[in-house]
A and B are shown apart, each in its own frame.
Chain A
């Protein structure tokens, strides 16, 4: 059974269409990254799952329950880190956890959870109104973990966290997944999704434009890597040598620079080829693909944006 199943979900706010028929499936036990730029519809999709917003059309099921009819049953088994939340200023961190524990009829030691997310016991005794964004994020993550939920829904979980916090977040996501939980998290940062996810869905302008395994995604992003090399002697021999390197898809000449589009793992091959052809590399720079370029890799050359089976190679040639 799928943990999350969205079928043709449309959502209109007044005259604005936030979701245009989202289809998406998250299998039980996987870590699913939901990737898209800000405003693409990630949070609206998550809000549909939690019955925060009601879809205009389409159906959504979570853990086998309809999101409209049996929302409380879903939320009993789900831990949520929402986006755009606020903590209760006058309650302490510990009281927040106790409230969640009471709400979910769970038996857990708040201290244990607080320790897991890296909140000091002293901080837990303080009112949450004085917390920094990062501390609040840790607290709400701890709240999401109460009662070993079957599903974790995390909306931009790393926002407000420092690099240590982001690492802690990734570790917890992996640990929870090993325990058996399905994890669904959204992000607008490619690197975060790449490092933990089994599968990704990419959303743009309210539509899921691709659902793919992380390997395919990585291939797609590799194709997009751009290597800019300054060469002292930009001879034709150098250019053709670079062209001959397998994995190079395009070479552009701009001034004294060569702009090479190639897969990420052959950068050194390119540089070696230049040296062997008699050119001297003065400087080089790699350009990591941005999310926008990744979208381009998935959408370019196809009139049907929902090309789920899109593979990196095909897209790269297109």
Chain B
């Protein structure tokens, strides 16, 4: 067990990269701007009424986190192993009594520290702005948001470092990482829905089974898993978890929505008159959300990426000749 030595070296080394500090500053700025706006221009106060920290997080911060945090994480991790491989410093590292597994684990942990420390700093600075603003600062909510955002960032770092270990050079690593980023950020739902359509069309899997598959596929996306967990945390009451999952679908007709609510999420679907005709709302029922769609399961799927990425990376990295 020597990954901790590798991790410490990695932390020391990567923390001195200027590019990373610039990105951290940019990221802090992204966080602080909405908080600063709330402080100076009373954004978040509409007609004397406070829209609240919840809405600020839900509509602004969640998008910032899912869009920009992965980019910082990828920047911090994509070259972790591939650069050492190209330059030859990997030969120095592997001349020492570190196994290749230790190198992967140490690199992942070290780079997580490199992202985690400045990120924690950004959250703390941001908290000061929020406390100073006219919004009511809810420490529990904010800490939850900060912690889950860190977990999300660390998952992306782990994936980035793993891709770096699995490919031949940093160019392939950045291509692989950006493909991953674009997939989870823009294309995942499209694919999940296409698979759902295909199942219905060619295999006759329709109704609840089809929607269950689609929701499961959606939850496998680390970005969406993070978002839906946060939505559940931000919501009020015991139905928040179900509503967070329910929100992952949009644009279906009322009968589809009803199937999703009652047959997939074990909820109570009710049609209520809405702005443009009736709409289906998903209410509480005697049953809870199925375990595999719970917040805990979503967190599990999110964390699964670390293990999956590291395993694939270890397998590839362990095979190749330096």
Contacts and interface: CB of A to CB of B under 8 A. Distances in A.
Contacts of A52: 91, 94, 321-322
Given A84-B88, A86-B89, A103-B2, A91 B13 contact: yes
Interface in B97-123: 97-99
Contact of A90 (B5, B8, B13): B13
B247 interface: no
A237 to B, nearest CB: 62
Nearest to A103: B96
Contacts, number: 72
A235 to B, nearest CB: 61
A103 B97 contact: yes
Interface residues of A, number: 31
B99 A72 contact: yes
A220 B8 CA distance: 52
A54 B321 contact: yes
A86 B88 contact: yes
Interface stretch (A75-83, A173-181, A201-209, A258-266): A75-83
B7 to A, nearest CB: 11
Interface in A25-59: 47, 50-54
A140 interface: yes
B176 to A, nearest CB: 23
B16 interface: yes
Given A90-B13, A91-B12, A95-B12, A85 B89 contact: yes
Contacts of A196: none
Interface in B3-38: 5-6, 8-9, 12-13, 16-17
Given A13-B321, A52-B321, A95-B12, A104 B97 contact: yes
B95 interface: yes
Interface in A91-142: 91, 95, 99-100, 102-104, 140
Contacts of B88: 82, 84-86
Given A85-B88, A95-B12, A53 B95 contact: no
B250 interface: no
Contact count band on B: 20 to 34
A147 B321 CA distance: 27
A71 interface: yes
Given A47-B321, A103-B2, A87 B89 contact: yes
A88 interface: yes
A143 interface: yes
Contacts of B9: 88, 91, 99, 102
A125 to B, nearest CB: 14
B293 to A, nearest CB: 43
Given A52-B321, A86-B87, A75 B92 contact: no
A47 B16 CA distance: 31
A82 B95 contact: yes
Contacts of A88: 9, 13, 89, 92
B321 A53 contact: yes
Nearest to A153: B95
Given A52-B91, A52-B322, A84-B88, A103 B17 contact: no
B96 A104 contact: yes
Contact of B98 (A73, A82, A103): A103
A75 B322 contact: no
Given A52-B322, A90-B13, A90-B17, A102 B5 contact: yes
A50 B94 contact: yes
A311 B86 CA distance: 43
Interface string B73-94: 0000000000000011101101
B92 A72 contact: no
Contacts of A50: 94-95
A47 B322 contact: yes
Nearest to A95: B12
A180 B5 CA distance: 28
B94 A85 contact: no
A185 B191 CA distance: 56
| Best-buried of B2, B13, B92 by chain A (most CB within 10 Å) | B92
A24 B98 CA distance: 26
A239 B63 CA distance: 94
A50 to B, nearest CB: 6
B252 to A, nearest CB: 52
Given A84-B88, A140-B92, A72 B97 contact: yes
Nearest to B92: A85
Contact of B8 (A51, A76, A78, A102): A102
Contact of A84 (B6, B16, B91): B91
| Best-buried of A52, A54, A76 by chain B (most CB within 10 Å) | A52
B91 A100 contact: no
B16 A90 contact: yes
Contacts of B321: 13, 47, 52-54
Given A72-B98, A82-B92, 9 more contacts: A47-B322, A50-B95, A72-B97, A73-B97, A75-B98, A76-B97, A85-B91, A85-B92, A90-B17
27 contacts: A47-B322, A51-B94, A52-B94, A52-B322, A72-B97, A72-B98, A72-B99, A75-B96, A75-B97, A75-B98, A78-B95, A82-B91, A84-B91, A85-B92, A86-B92, A87-B89, A88-B92, A90-B13, A91-B13, A95-B12, A99-B96, A103-B2, A103-B96, A103-B97, A104-B96, A104-B97, A143-B92
Interface of A: 13, 47, 50-54, 71-73, 75-76, 78, 80, 82, 84-88, 90-91, 95, 99-100, 102-104, 140, 143-144
Sort A-B residue pairs by CB-CB distance and give the 3 closest, nearest first. Answer: A80-B95, A53-B321, A86-B87
